[in-house]
């Protein structure tokens, strides 16, 4: 797998983490940076970028881009590619399940644009890495596997369902990449219901296990981490929604993302 190892071996990895100005993304960045890995952060604007760099002083650099915008997501990918090769990307950026229905400048539901379409665009446009990690959530099990009405044009808006749908889409994407790009380790991670700003202070799951799992998958040579097409929870595999294994459904979602973004996933 190349130099994707923990510091005791003396070989470091280079990792890009979306949404690393706070929450799980920032915690994963702090951990990886402390271990000696080279970490590039991401934030949606300069103010949050400054906060991220202050919180992870060992970070290599930061890229800026609002992932609710197709144009800015493309720009984010361009900025990353200008920095050179990366070993892993952690697709951590997301918005939560309390959002009202609001449309982006591209006419898409905000939660869909950030949680689903942005990871697709970044995956397609950033030069291929050895490892990809997509953050999902346990609520993906309640997502709509039909993949119909992705933009909520016919259904009455239900915010938790919309969020659950996008987290299901992220598992679909992780498994699609695993199937299409067999040389890449592509996995989905459920961090659990953890006490972040999104999860709330009363969340019962382990915050540490939530961010350690994504960091572990990004850099470890542990055979348990050197796999692809798996769904993880606290460093152990967990059964995902069965629909996510269906290749026809995977291709249906991929085609929709291509049509909406104008971006094609490389062969």
Tell me if 117 sits within 8 A of 106, measured CB to CB.
no
Predicted confidence (pLDDT) per residue in 178-200, tens digit: 999 999 999 999 997 655 566 56
211 is catalytic: no
Q: What is the pLDDT of residue 1?
A: 33
* Alpha-carbon span 248 to 63, nearest angstrom: 35
Q: Which two tokens stand for residue 139?
A: 């609520």
Instruction: Please tell me which residue in 6, 116, 137, 167 is annotated as part of the active site.
Output: 167
Q: Average per-residue pLDDT in the chain?
A: 92
Q: Are strands 236-237 and 231-233 parallel, antiparallel or unpaired?
A: antiparallel
Predicted confidence (pLDDT) per residue in 77-127, tens digit: 999 999 999 999 999 999 987 778 999 999 999 999 999 999 999 999 999
With bands split at pLDDT 50, 70 and 90, how would you rate the model's confidence at 208? confident
With bands split at pLDDT 50, 70 and 90, how would you rate the model's confidence at 234? very high
Instruction: Please tell me which residue in 97, 134, 163, 211 is annotated as part of the active site.
Output: 163
- Residue 103 β-bridge partners: 109
Tell me if 90 sits within 8 A of 122, measured CB to CB.
no
What superfamily in CATH does domain 9-260 come from?
NAD(P)-binding Rossmann-like Domain (3.40.50.720)
Place of tokens 């080279």: 38
Where are the domains positioned within the chain?
Answer: 9-260
- Helix runs in 159-206, H state only: 159-180
What's the DSSP call for residue 157?
P
Predicted confidence (pLDDT) per residue in 59-83, tens digit: 999 999 999 999 999 999 999 999 9
Q: Is the pLDDT of residue 210 over 90?
A: no
Q: What is the pLDDT of residue 206?
A: 67
Place of tokens 């006419």: 107
* Mutual angle of helices 159-180 and 118-125, in 10-degree steps: 20
* Alpha-carbon span 18 to 121, nearest angstrom: 13
Taking every pair of C-alpha atoms in the chain, what is the biggest distance, in angstroms?
54
Q: Is the pLDDT of residue 6 over 90?
A: no
163 is catalytic: yes
Q: What is the pLDDT of residue 199?
A: 57
What's the DSSP call for residue 55?
H
Side-chain-side CA neighbours of residue 54 (13 Å): 7
- Residue 91 β-bridge partners: 134
Q: What is the pLDDT of residue 201?
A: 63
Q: Which of 66, 68, 156, 65 is nearest to 108 (CA)?
A: 68
């Amino acid at each position: 797998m190349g130099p994707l190892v923990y510091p005791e071996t003396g070989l470091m990895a280079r990792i890009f983490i979306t949404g690393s100005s706070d929450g799980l993304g920032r915690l994963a960045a702090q951990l990886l940076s402390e271990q000696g890995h080279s970490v590039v952060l991401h934030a949606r604007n300069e103010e949050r970028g400054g906060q991220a760099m202050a919180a992870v002083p060992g970070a290599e650099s930061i890229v800026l881009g609002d992932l609710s915008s197709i144009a800015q997501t493309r720009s984010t990918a361009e900025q990353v590619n200008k920095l050179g090769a990366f070993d892993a990307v952690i697709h951590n950026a997301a918005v939560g399940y309390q959002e009202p229905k609001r449309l982006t400048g591209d006419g898409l539901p905000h939660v869909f644009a950030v949680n689903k379409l942005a990871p697709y665009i970044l995956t397609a446009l950033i030069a291929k890495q050895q490892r990809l990690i997509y953050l999902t959530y346990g609520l993906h099990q309640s997502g709509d596997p039909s993949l119909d009405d992705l933009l909520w044009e016919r259904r009455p808006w239900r915010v938790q369902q919309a969020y659950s749908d996008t987290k299901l889409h992220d598992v679909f994407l992780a498994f699609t990449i695993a199937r299409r790009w067999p040389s890449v380790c592509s996995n989905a991670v459920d961090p659990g219901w953890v006490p972040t700003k999104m999860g709330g202070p009363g969340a019962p799951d382990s915050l540490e296990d939530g961010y350690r799992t994504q960091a572990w998958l990004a850099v470890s040579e542990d055979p348990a981490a050197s796999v692809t097409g798996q769904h993880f929870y606290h460093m152990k595999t967990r059964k995902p929604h069965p629909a996510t294994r269906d290749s026809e459904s995977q291709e249906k979602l991929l085609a929709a993302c291509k049509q909406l973004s104008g971006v094609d996933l490389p062969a």
